[in-house]
Amino acid sequence: MSETVLLVYEDREYLVETGEEFGTDLGVLSVPEGIEPGESLETHLGTEFHVRALRGPDLFHHLERTGAPMIPRDIGLVIGETGVSQGDRILDAGTGTGVLAATMARAGASVLTYERDPEFAAVARENMSLAGVSKSVTVRTGNLLEELDSIEERFDVLTLDTGDAPAIVEHAPELLVDGGFVAVYSPFIESTRAVVEAARAVSLSDVRTRETIQREMDFDDRGSRPSTAPVGHTGYLTVGRNE
Amino acid sequence: MSETVLLVYEDREYLVETGEEFGTDLGVLSVPEGIEPGESLETHLGTEFHVRALRGPDLFHHLERTGAPMIPRDIGLVIGETGVSQGDRILDAGTGTGVLAATMARAGASVLTYERDPEFAAVARENMSLAGVSKSVTVRTGNLLEELDSIEERFDVLTLDTGDAPAIVEHAPELLVDGGFVAVYSPFIESTRAVVEAARAVSLSDVRTRETIQREMDFDDRGSRPSTAPVGHTGYLTVGRNE
Amino acid sequence: MSETVLLVYEDREYLVETGEEFGTDLGVLSVPEGIEPGESLETHLGTEFHVRALRGPDLFHHLERTGAPMIPRDIGLVIGETGVSQGDRILDAGTGTGVLAATMARAGASVLTYERDPEFAAVARENMSLAGVSKSVTVRTGNLLEELDSIEERFDVLTLDTGDAPAIVEHAPELLVDGGFVAVYSPFIESTRAVVEAARAVSLSDVRTRETIQREMDFDDRGSRPSTAPVGHTGYLTVGRNE
Amino acid sequence: MSETVLLVYEDREYLVETGEEFGTDLGVLSVPEGIEPGESLETHLGTEFHVRALRGPDLFHHLERTGAPMIPRDIGLVIGETGVSQGDRILDAGTGTGVLAATMARAGASVLTYERDPEFAAVARENMSLAGVSKSVTVRTGNLLEELDSIEERFDVLTLDTGDAPAIVEHAPELLVDGGFVAVYSPFIESTRAVVEAARAVSLSDVRTRETIQREMDFDDRGSRPSTAPVGHTGYLTVGRNE
C-alpha cells in the first residue's frame, strides 16, 4: 500500500520512496516501483539489502527532525486514550517533525495539521511523503488559533502540542463532534494547568491529566530489577471529551 | 462505516447495532439502518437520545467482560510501540474481552485471535460485532501454541496476553515478517522474565520490558500536585523485534 | 530512658506514661514507675499486657492528631537528607501533630518548634510528653516568621512544613550554621517553586526538590508484582545547604 | 562531641580527626585538638579553611568506599520506617562502607555490624573512626549467619544488606525485642521475595516491601516539571516487625 520502504543491511537502514535511486557507502541502490517487503535488492557493488515495510516506530528514527519528536510511547498514549482509528478526522496543531500526524494517518485517520514555522512545515510535508501518508495529512503553514474562523468542519479528535493550547482548547466544543476527544501534550505544569482550566471553562467532560513514568526492567543472571537508568519525563498528557 | 452506534442521554449510554429495537427504562428505541452520528432518536415515550460514533475508549466500558479488559492506556502503548496501522496482519492470543483486538482492527489491521475458553470466545465474537469489526477480526477457539503448525501466514505483529506467552515467543521468528514486532503483556515479574528469556533465545532484537506508572494530577484552588490516588500496576509490557 | 511505654494485648495498644492509672475495656491498668519493656502487667481483671518500648513509627499512630501527620517515610527522608543526629539544634515551623519534631528529638536533637494555632500547640506539647521528649522539644505558640528577630541562636537544620516557608527560607543563611541544611515539605508545585526560588535568592547550595513515589510489592503464589494499590502523593521535599 | 571535623575551602573538603597534621595542595594543615565548628584554620601557606561539623550526608562523600554505599535517601527510609533513635541496640549485617551503621550511631544507637571481607571490615573500622562513632559501632569480621549462636543479646532493630538476608531473617524473632523491626535492603526481586517469604514463615507482622522512585523537579524560566534525568532504582526495602 505504501510506496515507501525501508532498505536494511546489518546496522544500515534507509527509508526510501520507490522509483528512486540513491547512493550509499556500499554502492548505488536503484529502487524499482512495485518492489515489495520481503524482497531483496543489490547495490551496484553487490551488497544485498532487505526490503522491509515501514512501521510506526521507524518514523521516530527516520523522519527529518525539526525538534524533538514525540516518542512512540506518548504517541501510543494519545491514540489509546482518544481511540484514533480509521475514518477519523483529526485536527492537529504544532506539527513539528510530524511523527504524531503520520502515525495517526497510518491508523486510517485524515489529519489537518498546523505548523507556524514555514521551514518546519516544509520539512513536515516531506516527512509525510516519506511516511507514505501525503494523501491523508494536510500540513498547513500557520497558526491554528488565528485560522479557527475559517474552519467549518467538525473533527473526531483535536491533538495539540503547542504553546497556545489553552486558547485553542476554549474552542474545542465548536471543533469537535459529540463524543470527540481533545488530547494536549505539555511539558510544564503551569501550561498543563492552563489547559485544564480552559477545558473546564468550556465544560469538557472527564478532563484528566496524567504523568507517565516508565521504568525499564533489567533481567540478568543475578536477578530481575528496575533499571538504574529509567526513562525521564517527557510531558503531561491531558485528555477531555466533548459531551 | 460502522454499523454500530452509541445512543446517549445524560448518563445513559447504549452501544447498539443499527436495525435493532430495544427497551430502556425511558421507553423503547427503534434504531433505523443508516442512522448517523450527530442525529437524534426518540424513545416511544419521547425521550431524545443523541447518536454518537463509537470510539476506542468506549469499548472498555461497553463490551461484555469475560475478565478485566486491557485499559486504553495499555492498548495505546501496544499500538504505539509496535506501530499497528492499516493493512497490518496481526496474530493475537488471549483474546479475553477482545478490547485490544477490536481497537487494532479499528486502526485498520486484520486480526487473527485465539481464545481457549469456548464461552469467552463466543462472547468475544459478539463483542467484535458490537465493535463493528467482525470482518477484520477472526476469533478462533483454541490454544495458539497447539495451532502453530497450521499457521502458514506471516504477521506484522504478534500480541500476547496469555500464560504460555514464553513458549509462543519462541516461534516468533517463523510467525513474523522481517521487522515485525512481538508485544507481550504480563502481570508478574516471573512470567515477564520468562518472556524476555524466550525472546533472547530466538534472537529477537531490541527486547525491552517496561513498567508504566501513571500519576493523575490534581488542579484546584490551592495549587497543583500529583493525585493522592494514583493509577496502580496493570502489567509489564515486553516488546521485541524480528530482524 | 523514656518514661513512656506501650502496653500491648493482641490488637490493643496504649501509649502511656509510667506512674499513671487508666481504664480499658479489659479492666484498669496501674502502670508503676520503673516498669521496663519486656515485662508484663495485668489489669485488675487479669488480662496480661506486654510492655513495649515506644518506637518512631508508633508516634504516627498514637499521638493525638491536629491534622494529617507526616508519615514515617517522609520523616525518614528529612532525617536522611539532612543527617539529623545527636547534639543537633533544630528549628522547626508548622509543628502540627509533632511527629517530625518528636522523631528528631528521639534521634538526639534538641528542637525548637513553632505552631501558630494555640490549641494545636497545646496538643503538640502533650504529644511531646507522650513521646518522652518534653525535655528536648520546645513548642512555641506563634508564627516563626514574626519571631525571627528574637532568635539569636544558630541551628544545624531548619525544617519547615508551613505555608510561609518561602519567606522563612529567605532567612536561612542567618539561622543556620555553616554546612547546615534546610528541608521544606510542601504539597503543591506552586508553593514548592516559591521555596526553590527563595533558596536560590539567598544562594543556598545544592537546592534540590524531589517527589517520592513508592510502590508496595505483592508476593503471592502467582508471582511477584507491584501492588495495584500504590501509596499516593504526600509532598515535595526540597533540601538546600548553607555553605 | 565528635572529634572529627570537615575543613572546607571553596570546592575542597577534607574530613579529618582533630590532632592530625596533613598536607593539601594549598599547604599543610595542623588541626589542633579542641578546634570547633565555626572557627577557621590556615595552612602554612596562608589559605584559610573553615571548620564545619560533619553531617550525615557528608559520610556518603567522605568515607572510603569498598562498594557502592547506601544513599542518604535509603538510609533515611530505613531510619524512618524502623524509628532508629537514641539508646537503640542495632544488629547489622553487610557493613560495606559503613554509611548506614555510622548514620544510625550518629542518631544515638549502638551498632554491632558484621562484614565478611576482612579488608572491607578494616576499612569500615577506619570509617567509623572518621565518622566519630568508633565507640558506638563494633565492626566484626565474619558472617552473621554463622555467628548467630554466639549472640545472646536482643536488639531493637536488625538491618540487613547482604545476600543471605533470608536465612538471617528466619532468626529475627530470637534476635529482636518485642516490637523490634527488621529492615532488609535488596536490589533484586528474587532475593526480595525470598526475604518476604522468610519473614512470613516466622510470622513477623506488617511485612511490606516498597520500591522507591524519586523524581527530581526542574524549575526554570519556562516552567516547572519533573526532571528528564530521574534517580534510578537502588533497591527494594522490606520491613517487618516482631510482635
pLDDT digit string (tens) for chain B, length 243 residues: 448 899 999 989 999 989 989 899 999 999 999 999 999 999 999 999 999 999 999 999 999 999 999 999 999 999 999 999 999 999 999 999 999 999 999 999 999 999 999 999 999 999 999 999 999 999 999 999 999 999 999 999 999 999 999 999 999 999 999 999 999 999 899 999 999 999 999 999 999 999 988 888 889 998 898 886 655 788 899 999 998
- Gyration radius (Cα) of chain C, Å: 20
| Strand, coil or helix: C236 | strand
D65: distance to nearest CA of chain C, Å? 19
B224 and C189 within 8 Å at the Cβ level: the answer is yes
**pLDDT tier for residue D226 given thresholds of 50, 70 and 90:** confident
A222 and D189 within 8 Å at the Cβ level: the answer is no
C-beta of residue C178 within 8 angstroms of C-beta of residue C153: no
**CA–CA gap between residue A185 and residue A192 (Å, rounded):** 8
Instruction: Indicate the residue of C8, C179, C210 with minimum beta-carbon distance to D6.
Output: C179
> Which amino acid belongs to residue D112?
L
Q: Which pLDDT does position C99 carry in this prediction?
A: 98
B178: distance to nearest CA of chain A, Å? 6
B228 and C233 within 8 Å at the Cβ level: the answer is yes
**pLDDT tier for residue D214 given thresholds of 50, 70 and 90:** confident
Region of D134 (left: φ > 0; alpha: ψ -120 to 50; beta: rest) is alpha
> Which amino acid belongs to residue A48?
E
For B80-134, the pLDDT digits (tens) are 999 999 999 999 999 999 999 999 999 999 999 999 999 999 999 999 999 999 9
Q: How far is CA A139 from the centre of its chain?
A: 13
β-pairing, A176-186 vs A155-160, is parallel
- Provide the 10 A C-beta neighbour count for residue D23: 10
| Strand, coil or helix: B237 | strand
C-beta of residue D160 within 8 angstroms of C-beta of residue A193: no
Q: For chain C, which chains pass the contact test of at least 3 CB pairs under 8 Å?
A: B, D
Instruction: Indicate the residue of A188, A213, A233 with minimum beta-carbon distance to D223.
Output: A188
Residue C118, classified by CB atoms within 10 Å of its CB into exposed (0-12), middle (13-18) or buried (19+), is: exposed
For D33-92, the pLDDT digits (tens) are 999 999 999 999 999 999 999 999 999 999 999 999 999 999 999 999 999 999 999 999
State the maximum Cα–Cα separation within chain D, in Å, rounded to a whole number: 64
Instruction: Indicate the residue of C178, C212, C215 with minimum beta-carbon distance to D38.
Output: C178
Q: For chain D, which chains pass the contact test of at least 3 CB pairs under 8 Å?
A: A, C
Which set of grid coordinates corresponds to residue C122? 497545646
- Provide the 10 A C-beta neighbour count for residue B10: 8
Question: Alpha helix locations (H) across C161-229?
Answer: 165-169, 172-175, 189-201
Residue of D190, D222, D233, D236 for testing the chain A interface, max A β-carbons within 10 Å = D233
Residue of C233, C234, C236, C238 for testing the chain B interface, max B β-carbons within 10 Å = C233
SS3 content of chain C, % helix, strand, coil (to 5): 30, 35, 35
User: Which residues on chain C are in Cβ contact (under 8 Å) with B71?
Assistant: none
Q: Is the dihedral of CA C140, C146, C149, C155 positive or negative?
A: positive
Strand partners, D159: D92, D183
C-beta of residue A232 within 8 angstroms of C-beta of residue A204: no
Instruction: Indicate the residue of C76, C82, C108 with minimum beta-carbon distance to D80.
Output: C76
A80 and B77 within 8 Å at the Cβ level: the answer is yes
- Provide the 10 A C-beta neighbour count for residue B243: 18
Strand partners, C74: none
D107 and C87 within 8 Å at the Cβ level: the answer is no
D221: distance to nearest CA of chain A, Å? 11
Q: For chain B, which chains pass the contact test of at least 3 CB pairs under 8 Å?
A: A, C
> In chain A, whose CA is at the least distance from the CA of B210?
A216
Closest to A108 measured CA to CA, from A229, A232, A1, A212: A1
Question: Alpha helix locations (H) across D56-117?
Answer: 56-62, 72-82, 99-106
| Strand, coil or helix: B186 | strand
The pTM assigned to this predicted structure is 0.92
**CA–CA gap between residue D82 and residue D197 (Å, rounded):** 20
> In chain C, whose CA is at the least distance from the CA of B186?
C225
CB contact set of B131 (below 8 Å; sequence gap of 6+): B4, B54, B59, B63, B98, B102, B105, B106
C224 and B188 within 8 Å at the Cβ level: the answer is yes
Residues of C with CB under 8 A from a CB of B: 187-191, 211, 213, 215, 222-230, 232-234
ipTM of predicted assembly, 2 dp = 0.93
User: Which residues on chain A are in Cβ contact (under 8 Å) with D189?
Assistant: 223-225
For A13-70, the pLDDT digits (tens) are 999 989 989 899 999 999 999 999 999 999 999 999 999 999 999 999 999 999 999 9
